[in-house]
Structure 1
Amino acid sequence: MLPSVILTALIAYLLGSLPFAVIVSKCIGLADPRSFGSGNPGATNVLRTGNKKAAVYTLLGDMLKGVVAVLLAQYAVRHWGLSTGLPGVAALAAFLGHIFPCTLKFKGGKGVATALGVLLALNIWLGLLTAATWLIVFYASRYSSLSALTAAVLSPMYYFLGAGTLWPLNGVIALCLILICALLLWRHSANIRRLIQGTEPKVGQKKEL
């Protein structure tokens, strides 16, 4: 049991450590996203180059690595009879890989896209509900950070509310979702301060996911 958990976590972490913001920027010939703007290797900072295609590729890549990590764990559960909490471990490890990537000296992004990716893979309805929350808050406020924070806080609540009807309740997965939520809030601590102070820029005015 323990070896399978460690192996799952390692594979998911390495997948999460793939720095798509840097990879995409390099392939397209853009500046390293760590060298301008917020210095954050994420899709929103890549968007500051004005290259929307690069930002979309980065967003999709960051989501996809979360999806793949969880799907691999789900495959292992189905075919090898491993613990049903394993996808939760993979979700958390992939998220940690994004925010603390070994490929970028453990200085990664905020993890919003990767978090959405793991939620979609854990359960498509959970992921879509969280994504809808982000979109609704963003449409109403134009604050990307506020949208991410709201979706992060509500995603574990959605999981508990839907448990027993839309999906089975799994304690390991629930704990991992709570940890992801807490880490997202921590990674957005500067944004929270700016939101409270009224200095957080809106999208179009410029700032970050």
Structure 2
Amino acid sequence: MPDWALYALASLVGYLAGSVPFGLVITKAAGLGDIREIGSHSIGATNVLRTGRKDLALATLVLDSLKAGLVALGFSLVAGPEAGMVAGASAFMGHCYPVWLGFKGGKGVATYAGLLAFVTPLKGLLVGAPVWLGVFALTRISSLSALCAAVAVPPGAYLLGERNPVVLAGLTALSLLVFWTHRANIDRLMKGTEPRFGAPKTKPEE
């Protein structure tokens, strides 16, 4: 199979896998209605947690991570890390812009983490996970934790030895996209109105 066809296949499979809206499916199956009608209106695990169901949020987190991670792993094993990166990045795009939901999905943090876990775990994930956990422990703000981790991953992976140009370019592009999908959160962070977990809400979220 020529390279262009392989990457096209990786993109298609990755996008379709990523576009499965697990958060929406799980919450509807649990009788909680449409997750897009509450909180941040996202289909991701953080918004599922706002239903009060930690088990459903955890299930969403795991499944959203695996849908990127497994396609990345599969294509990495068959055709190398470049194809794995393309598949995982396409899953990220599918999660954020699923065709089934009018291209309005989640913010991509869990899918990004899943990709890191299977493409460059000892470089990207080893940087991103501690940064996310550390910032969240200090601030209790999920979006700020994700943004800080996104900033740290590409240079951190490079410093730890990642030299594949396709992987590094993919990590950089996805980190920039995390900022794009969190633009409303960034606006609230700048205004000081971004909610913290465990704190009472003082105003409706946008």
Question: Within 5 A, what are the aligned runs for 1:1-209?
Answer: 1-77=3-79, 84-125=81-122, 126-163=124-161, 167=162, 169-205=163-199
Q: Give the gaps of 5 or more residues in structure 1.
A: 78-82
Is residue 19–residue 98 contact of structure 1 (8 Å, CA) maintained in 2?
yes
Distance 2:62 2:10 in 1: 22
| CA distance in 1: counterparts of 2:189 and 2:37, whole angstroms | 25
Structure 2: tracts of 5 or more residues without a match: none
Distance in 1 separating the partners of 2:40 and 2:85: 30
**Structure 1 runs of 4+ off > 3 angstroms?**
none
Task: State the TM-score, normalizing by the size of structure 2.
Answer: 0.92
% same residue: 44
Higher relative contact order, structure no. (Cα contacts within 8 Å, ≥ 6 residues apart): 1
For residue 38 of structure 2, what is the amino acid of its counterpart?
A: F
Residue 91 of structure 1 contacts residue 176 of structure 1 at CA under 8 Å; is this kept in 2?
Answer: no
Superposition deviation, residue 84 in structure 1? 4.1
Moved more, 125-134 or 135-144: 125-134
CA distance in structure 2 between the aligned counterparts of 1:84 and 1:30, rounded to whole angstroms: 39
Q: Deviations for 1:93-125, whole angstroms, at most 9, x for unmatched residues?
A: 111011011121110100111100001111222
* Structure-2 change in CA distance of 1:7 and 1:195 (3 Å): same
Aligned to 1:80: none
CA distance in 1, matches of 2:190, 2:94: 29
Q: Is the 8 A contact 1:92 1:176 kept in 2?
A: yes
When residues 84 and 129 of structure 1 are mapped into structure 2, their CA distance, relative to the original with a 3 A threshold, is closer
Q: Distance in 2 between matches of 1:118 and 1:110?
A: 14
Q: Normalization by structure 1: what TM-score?
A: 0.90
